[in-house]
Structure 1
């Protein structure tokens, strides 16, 4: 198994450009690269360029690291062509709309962020003649796959209702993947696609309001975990550090223009099953799972129920292997956030 240090060591002496540098994956990737520099002794350092929307937010996210001479923060808008002086060896494109409510309320912007932002970054990779690029896609691009499939591999695409505005996210990911394949074929941009399972663990910010964070907060406070759906949809998950190792690996390994599922196959279960596990393991006997399903669930922007068990075999053949299971993911996230019963 290839460790995170081994994967990142191969980037020594290079310049890595990251979009969405203040987001969960982007910020953790920045920290992993800078951490390598601290422990690289006399070895060559990695220069990190973080592309951000808000310098103020970046200062809050990175705090002391803002003064690191190997970190350059660049404020800009992905809807416009990206201009960066100097060489760029590797690109990690993590920027994306992230919340279901945003997808529903702003479907046009969701599609534009996916397509135009990805096109501008691919143009940058083409201009700089990068050695490697990783585009972060999502398991949502699969849509509703055949429920009879034991494992969903990279070619097993399913149905997406293109007239449902919630599909702006999943269809945005699909067209962006197609764009990556097109740039790889026509312009020889060495881009690989990482199709992420839902990712969480140490590194999640306190302001994160996605379902895994909500479950954890409720259980730690001894409150009921409230589901606004029947919880029948299957979730696939991966720990933050495992995803960082996968991205670092894909910057140099794997077939150009191809996609790789990034997931821990052992974590797959329904939303209701995960909620029950969190209540039992972290609720101290005071939490239970309750259902409060609104009449118009579409208002909340929830994705349709999907039965899907992702396969990670293709990525594992490159030398990657997930290290953390679902209980450990929650334990580490809760410890990292210092969640307490009295937390505001």
Structure 2
């Protein structure tokens, strides 16, 4: 098939592009290279089935010919990362809402199947231990800038479901839970690459808050396998799926795991959220997915556990240091 991946030069997008090329598809990565990079796709730049197109999903005229060309669209392009959300709110909101609106409108115009990437952030500060796709969303006030990303991605989901229900557009929605792996950068606030980079450099490992907040991490290869299988599943159309792992760890324990795997003597220090992000920030204490639904639809099971993920990330950063 001809497949368009918006955000295809990003962390998840670049891994998806490689898997699609390996399966024999023709792939266009459409990316504005803000958080994505040519470096992420350097291994496939010479591939005869691949093309990197630099463009912004907010610009419909640039995007349209590639949606028309494609048989399927994976819409991963987004403004993401806590740092981006906190420092560039207008860019974040317009990219996440207007970009998705353009993709869906064009997919509807040319009748193309779409996967819309959403996020576990849409659950907000929910305290359930295992979040189900049908759970309520619990947000803080609009004066807390952190929630603009969650609100924008929730609107993306509403819009995707509306196109499916009113116009019959084949749409699949996925909520990624803390996807991690090689090529992810800590530059935008992602915790695992930040901890690993700090440990390898002998710098203090900076834990935000008290470190008792818990997360569940997903290997990028597992996430990519899940979304490809969902796009191949007809009954997944019009549905929302958690893509993640049920393995839970506190941020304090994550820091200790990174120290153990790297052999680093870096100290662990705690910083107040306000010190890092200012006073317009709020965090959630828990975020773990219930993956019953995705297991039922495509038999999904994560193959790489947290230790395996951390080993791969440490190896990646060590290799980067040698280059």
Query: TM-score scaled by structure 2?
Result: 0.89
2:87 maps to which residue?
A: 105
Instruction: Show structure 2 runs of 5+ residues with no match.
Output: none
Q: Is 1:210 aligned to residue 197 of structure 2?
A: no
- Residue 316 of structure 1 and its aligned partner are, at CA, apart by 1.2
- Residue 283 of structure 1 and its aligned partner are, at CA, apart by 2.8
Within the candidate set 92, 99, 124, 2:106 is matched to 124
Deviations 1:235-290 (A, max 9, x none): 12100100010110111224322210111112x22212211222233335x23422
**8 Å Cα contact 2:120-2:177 kept in structure 1:** yes
Give the Cα separation in 1 of the matches to 2:161 and 2:50: 30
- Residue 128 of structure 1 and its aligned partner are, at CA, apart by 2.4
Give the Cα separation in 2 of the matches to 1:319 and 1:144: 29
Within the candidate set 299, 316, 321, 1:336 is matched to 316
Q: Quickly say closer, same or farther: Cα 1:275–1:339, change in 2 above 3 A.
A: farther
- Residue 59 of structure 1 and its aligned partner are, at CA, apart by 4.2
Q: Quickly say closer, same or farther: Cα 1:18–1:330, change in 2 above 3 A.
A: same
Give the Cα separation in 2 of the matches to 1:294 and 1:322: 31
Deviates more, 1:209-218 or 1:318-327: 209-218
Q: Is 1:31 aligned to residue 18 of structure 2?
A: yes
Q: Quickly say closer, same or farther: Cα 1:78–1:192, change in 2 above 3 A.
A: same
Deviates more, 1:326-335 or 1:253-262: 253-262
Within the candidate set 263, 281, 288, 1:283 is matched to 263
Give the Cα separation in 2 of the matches to 1:260 and 1:185: 17
**8 Å Cα contact 1:25-1:244 kept in structure 2:** yes
**8 Å Cα contact 2:172-2:230 kept in structure 1:** yes
**8 Å Cα contact 2:2-2:71 kept in structure 1:** yes
Give the Cα separation in 2 of the matches to 1:296 and 1:204: 24
**8 Å Cα contact 1:232-1:305 kept in structure 2:** no
Give the Cα separation in 2 of the matches to 1:296 and 1:203: 27
Within the candidate set 235, 240, 243, 1:259 is matched to 240
Q: Quickly say closer, same or farther: Cα 1:337–1:281, change in 2 above 3 A.
A: closer
Residues 316-331 of structure 1: matches in 2 within 5 Å? Answer: 316-317=295-296, 318-331=298-311
- The alignment of Structure 1 onto Structure 2 pairs a total of residues equal to 316
- Residue 176 of structure 1 and its aligned partner are, at CA, apart by 0.4
- Residue 291 of structure 1 and its aligned partner are, at CA, apart by 1.6
Query: TM-score scaled by structure 1?
Result: 0.84
Query: What secondary structure sits across from 2:272 in the alignment?
Result: coil
Give the Cα separation in 2 of the matches to 1:295 and 1:186: 44
Give the Cα separation in 2 of the matches to 1:302 and 1:215: 21
2:134 maps to which residue?
A: 155
Q: Quickly say closer, same or farther: Cα 1:76–1:243, change in 2 above 3 A.
A: same
**8 Å Cα contact 2:122-2:153 kept in structure 1:** yes
- Residue 120 of structure 1 and its aligned partner are, at CA, apart by 0.6
- Residue 63 of structure 1 and its aligned partner are, at CA, apart by 2.7
Deviates more, 1:244-253 or 1:225-234: 225-234
1:21 maps to which residue?
A: 8
- Residue 208 of structure 1 and its aligned partner are, at CA, apart by 7.0
Give the Cα separation in 2 of the matches to 1:84 and 1:223: 47
Give the Cα separation in 2 of the matches to 1:262 and 1:64: 26
Deviations 1:91-140 (A, max 9, x none): 1011111221221222222111111100111122112222x321111111
Structure (1/2) with the larger helix percentage:
2
Q: Is 1:199 aligned to residue 186 of structure 2?
A: no
- Residue 54 of structure 1 and its aligned partner are, at CA, apart by 4.5
Residues 1-344 of structure 1: matches in 2 within 5 Å? Answer: 14-36=1-23, 45-54=24-33, 59-63=38-42, 65-81=44-60, 82-84=63-65, 87-130=69-112, 132-145=113-126, 147=127, 149-163=128-142, 164-204=144-184, 210-253=190-233, 254-266=235-247, 268-284=248-264, 286-293=265-272, 296-299=275-278, 303-317=282-296, 318-338=298-318
Q: Quickly say closer, same or farther: Cα 1:241–1:301, change in 2 above 3 A.
A: farther
Give the Cα separation in 1 of the matches to 2:38 and 2:123: 36
**8 Å Cα contact 2:198-2:205 kept in structure 1:** yes
